[in-house]
């Protein structure tokens, strides 16, 4: 009798486990909500939803910051949707910089795989935490805090940044201030910078007004 009960119980556990939803591959045609994308029907999911080959290749660093970030977020790697993880590749040419920025929705773990990177973040108490990292070194940037990465050697640096979110988001401070149409008067009032400096930075970064 006890044996039969155990068998019934384990069968029940088995079927309950089988009913668990293993994944929620992003349906990129559906809405991108704060809780992530809606799920692609399981019958349409393939292994390629869980694989990204895009990080094999160096990004194009021929730009003003001499840096390239190649993301594997939910949009590029639909299988991470709902799992609270993602990753990106960072290429930094000599002189390259990832300007001060935040990821509103995720903490970051940066692993340097080539070259040297000076990285740092600033806490909400305005304490600075900065260090020069070399191949194999890691640094963590807590969610939401301003941080940056600068090439610290004469060679191209490569790093991989993993995030505690499938959609960590990215806001770059300089672009927020100088790459849009926020009127110069308001930029000056809120930053204490002078008009000439604000106009110069708007010109460099593509802002207007
Ligand atoms: C890299 O970007 C620059 C500037 O946009 C462009 O001129 C160049 O062709 C790109 N190089 C490659 C290899 O795509």
Q: What is the CATH number of the domain that holds 2?
A: 2.60.120.10
User: Is it the case that residue 204 has pLDDT exceeding 70?
Assistant: yes
Residue 143 labelled as part of a binding site: no
> pLDDT digit string (tens) for 134-158?
999 999 999 999 999 999 999 999 9
- The pLDDT > 90 percentage for the chain reads 86
pTM above 0.85, yes or no: yes
The range of the structural domain enclosing residue 186 comes to 171-209
Does 63 share its domain with 151?
A: yes
Q: How far is the CA of 96 from the centre of ligand 1 (A)?
A: 16
Q: How far is the CA of 59 from the centre of ligand 1 (A)?
A: 10
- Partners of 132 in the beta sheet? 118
> pLDDT digit string (tens) for 30-50?
988 888 899 999 999 999 999
Mean pLDDT along residues 96-103? 97
Does 91 share its domain with 188?
A: no
Does 158 share its domain with 61?
A: yes
Does 58 share its domain with 87?
A: yes
- The pLDDT > 70 percentage for the chain reads 91
Total domains in the chain come to: 2
Ligand 1 pocket by Cβ (under 6 Å) = 60, 62
Does 194 share its domain with 162?
A: no
Q: How far apart are CA 41 and CA 25, in angstroms?
A: 8
Does 194 share its domain with 156?
A: no
Among 57, 60, 64, 70, which is best to mutate for testing ligand 1, by the most ligand atoms less than 8 A from CB?
Answer: 60
Question: Reduced to 3 states, what is the DSSP secondary structure of residue 115?
Answer: coil
What pLDDT shows up at residue 8?
A: 47
Does 73 share its domain with 17?
A: yes
> pLDDT digit string (tens) for 105-145?
999 999 999 999 999 999 999 999 999 999 999 999 999 99
Residue 3 labelled as part of a binding site: no
Does 63 share its domain with 122?
A: yes
Q: How far is the CA of 165 from the centre of ligand 1 (A)?
A: 30
Q: How far is the CA of 65 from the centre of ligand 1 (A)?
A: 14
CB 78 within 8 A of CB 28: yes
> pLDDT digit string (tens) for 48-75?
999 999 999 999 999 999 999 999 999 9
CB 152 within 8 A of CB 116: yes
Does 180 share its domain with 110?
A: no
Does 99 share its domain with 184?
A: no
What rounded mean pLDDT belongs to the chain?
92
Does 205 share its domain with 156?
A: no
Does 119 share its domain with 182?
A: no
What pLDDT shows up at residue 3?
A: 57
């Amino acid at each position: 009798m006890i044996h039969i009960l155990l068998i019934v119980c384990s069968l029940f556990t088995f079927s309950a486990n089988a009913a668990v939803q293993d994944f929620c591959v992003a349906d990129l045609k559906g809405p991108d909500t704060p809780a992530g994308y809606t799920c692609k029907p399981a019958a349409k999911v393939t292994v390629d939803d869980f694989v990204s080959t895009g990080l094999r290749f160096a990004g194009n660093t021929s730009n003003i910051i001499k840096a390239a970030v190649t993301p594997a977020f939910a949009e590029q790697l639909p299988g991470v949707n709902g799992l609270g993880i993602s990753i990106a590749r960072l290429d930094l040419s000599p002189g390259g910089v990832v300007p001060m920025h935040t990821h509103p929705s995720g903490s970051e773990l940066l692993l340097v795989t080539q070259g040297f990177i000076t990285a740092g973040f600033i806490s909400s108490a305005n304490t600075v935490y900065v260090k020069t990292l070399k191949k194999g070194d890691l640094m963590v940037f807590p969610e939401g805090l301003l941080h940056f990465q600068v090439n610290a050697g004469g060679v191209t640096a490569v790093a991989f940044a993993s995030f505690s979110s499938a959609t960590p988001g990215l806001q770059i401070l300089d672009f927020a201030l100088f790459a849009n149409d926020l009127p110069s008067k308001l930029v000056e009032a809120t930053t204490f910078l002078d008009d000439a400096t604000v106009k110069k930075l708007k010109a460099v970064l593509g802002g207007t007004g």
